Structure 1
Amino acid sequence: MRTRSGPRVPGALALIAALTLGAAGCVPLEEEPVTPPSGSGNIDQMLSELTVAEAGSMRGYSRNRFPHWRKTGQNCDVRDTVLERDGKSIEHSGCNVVGGRWESVYDGRTFTDPSDVDIDHMVPLANAWRSGADEWDDSKRGDFANDLDRPQLFAVSASSNRAKGDQDPSQWKPSNRSYWCQYAGDWVAVKHHWQLTVTSAEQAELADMLEGCTWESKP
């Protein structure tokens, strides 16, 4: 049973062994524990509790309806907070992160210039809009766009973030296949917390990605 406990530790993800393409598709061979998504509960159960519905309309959507990035703590804003959290050897100029080292979990690429790094929303803003966020007010949408408590914000390569766009896991997955278990678990955790819907194709793909995944148990 996959269980989730304790906070997510960015940069300390344990990778499962390489996946291979078999007769039934890509499946994990030998697995190592994967850091569970932040929060509590069982991922399989959370997936089963998500409401399945057709994707909603994009009518009225604008990124401005999801105000970001908010000012936060000693950093200038949430973007700087994620850059500092996900990077190593961080350098500052005032409250801005201006240097460091980042490894993009989506494709394994490494960067030292923060301008080459995007902050990705695990569940993209446009996807959230089609999944129920269109009914929220802008304040709640701002909470979603700046959510540091769920596995929602990640420093990744700009190219992978832009290739992903607003697609769900049935339409796009990271090229780093060893990250698929973590990716699917994080996606489910975010949608479950924010009570967003999934399409039938999205639900089926998430179930396939989670098949055989092993989460690291924490005391």
Structure 2
Amino acid sequence: MPTTRTVRNSLTVLAGVALLGSITVGVADATPPGIPSAETAKSQLAGLTVKPDGSQTGYSRDKFPHWIDQGNSCNTREMVLKRDGTNVQVGSDCYPTSGKWTSPYDGATWSSPSDVDIDHVVPLADAWRTGASSWTQEQRQAYANDLSDPQLIAVTDNVNQEKGDKSPDQWKPPSTGYWCTYAKMWVTVKYKFKLTVNSAEKSALTDMLGRC
């Protein structure tokens, strides 16, 4: 029997057949840099400080200036769209005029960049609660625009909105086959930026890395 799942506005996709416009189902294309091996991620997870999340007080996305200029008329969002897409063509302003983006979170493929969000794998609000509230504005800007680590990835917009600022104990990608990779990305970002994890988060990450 073919498997089914719901993609965007409760559309049901059967056996990889698209039912609306540019939506298709396929192999994930988006691959941020710096994804560690499972063994490295497990070691990094063991090295993270475990403590309850801090307060959300004072948080604002404005304190994490993002989509900054990256040169050649491109901002951070446009750089990730070019990196994570297939056959991406851009105009003089660096905004994509064509291309396809496959979201590894749910396996859906989109041909309009407006259907794609650039997700902060470890959300800005989560970072604030787990250490970034004490950073300088410059440090938070560097975090929000990090193109060197697996912190930014092109994904289906409404799936990203469902994620919000939830940690892996509260939200996981709909595609269970991506849980290992997602956990590896989450852990290495927290490890690099010296962010903390709470006990439920660590337990969820341990389970997810166990799928690798």
Which TM class, normalised by the smaller chain length? 0.7 to 0.9
Query: 1:121-160 maps to which residues of 2 (within 5 A)?
Result: 121-160=120-159
Tell me the equivalent position of 1:174. Answer: 173
Instruction: Quote the offset at 1:159 in angstroms.
Output: 0.8
Point out where structure 2 has 5 or more consecutive residues left out of the alignment: 1-27
The within-5 A match list for 1:11-26 is 11=29
1:116 alignment counterpart: 115
CA contact (8 A) 1:66 1:145 kept: yes
Whole-angstrom distance in 1 between the partners of 2:124 and 2:78: 19
Aligned equivalent of 1:76: 74
**Whole-Å Cα distance in 2 between the matches of residues 123 and 202 of structure 1?**
12
What is aligned with 2:13? none
Q: Distance in 1 between matches of 2:155 and 2:72?
A: 22
Aligned residue identity for 2:195: L
AA at the equivalent of 1:172: W
Following TM superposition, by how much is the alpha carbon of 1:124 offset from its aligned partner in structure 2, in angstroms?
A: 0.2
Distance in 1 separating the partners of 2:36 and 2:62: 27
**Residue pair 1:124, 1:166 contacting (<8 A) in 2 also:** yes
User: Residue 122 of structure 1 aligns to which amino acid in structure 2?
Assistant: V
* Pairwise CA distance, 1:73: 3.1
Q: How does 1:1-219 map to 2 (within 5 A)?
A: 11=29, 37-38=35-36, 42-94=40-92, 95-213=94-212
Q: CA deviation at 1:12?
A: 7.1
| Contact persistence 1:38–1:150 (CA under 8 A) | no
**How many residues matched?**
183
For structure 1, the residue ranges without an aligned partner over 5 or more in a row are 1-9, 14-34, 214-219
User: 2: CA distance between counterparts of 1:102 and 1:182?
Assistant: 18
Residue by residue over 1:107-138, the C-alpha shift from the partner in whole angstroms, topping out at 9 and shown as x without a partner, is 01110000110000000000000000000011
Post-superposition, which runs of at least 4 consecutive aligned residues in structure 1 deviate over 2 A? 10-13, 38-41
Given that 1:36 and 1:182 are in contact with CA atoms closer than 8 Å, whether structure 2 keeps it comes out as no
CA distance 1:87–1:75, change in 2 (3 Å): farther
CA distance in 2, matches of 1:212, 1:178: 8
Q: Note if contact 1:173-1:180 (Cα within 8 Å) is conserved in structure 2.
A: yes
Q: Deviation of residue 180 (structure 1)? A: 0.4
CA contact (8 A) 1:89 1:101 kept: yes
Quote how far apart the aligned CAs of 1:196 are: 0.2
User: CA shift at 1:39, angstroms?
Assistant: 8.9
Where 1:42 maps in the other structure, the secondary structure is helix
For the residues of structure 2 that align with 1:153 and 1:124, how far apart are their CA atoms?
Answer: 10
Could you tell me whether the CA contact under 8 Å between 1:90 and 1:99 is conserved in 2?
yes
* TM-fit CA distance, 1:89: 1.2
Please give the TM-score of this superposition, normalised by the length of structure 1.
0.79
Q: How many angstroms does 1:99 deviate by?
A: 2.1
Aligned to 2:16: none
Q: Which amino acid aligns with 1:71?
A: D
Give 3-state SS (helix, strand or coil) of 2:150's partner.
Answer: coil
Give percent identity, aligned residues only: 48
Q: In 2, are the aligned partners of 1:38 and 1:151 still within 8 Å (CA)?
A: no
Inter-CA distance 41–204: structure 2 relative to 1 (3 Å threshold)? closer
Summarize the Cα distance change of 1:163–1:78 in structure 2 as closer, same or farther, 3 Å threshold. Answer: same
Q: What SS does the corresponding residue of 1:101 show, helix, strand or coil?
A: strand
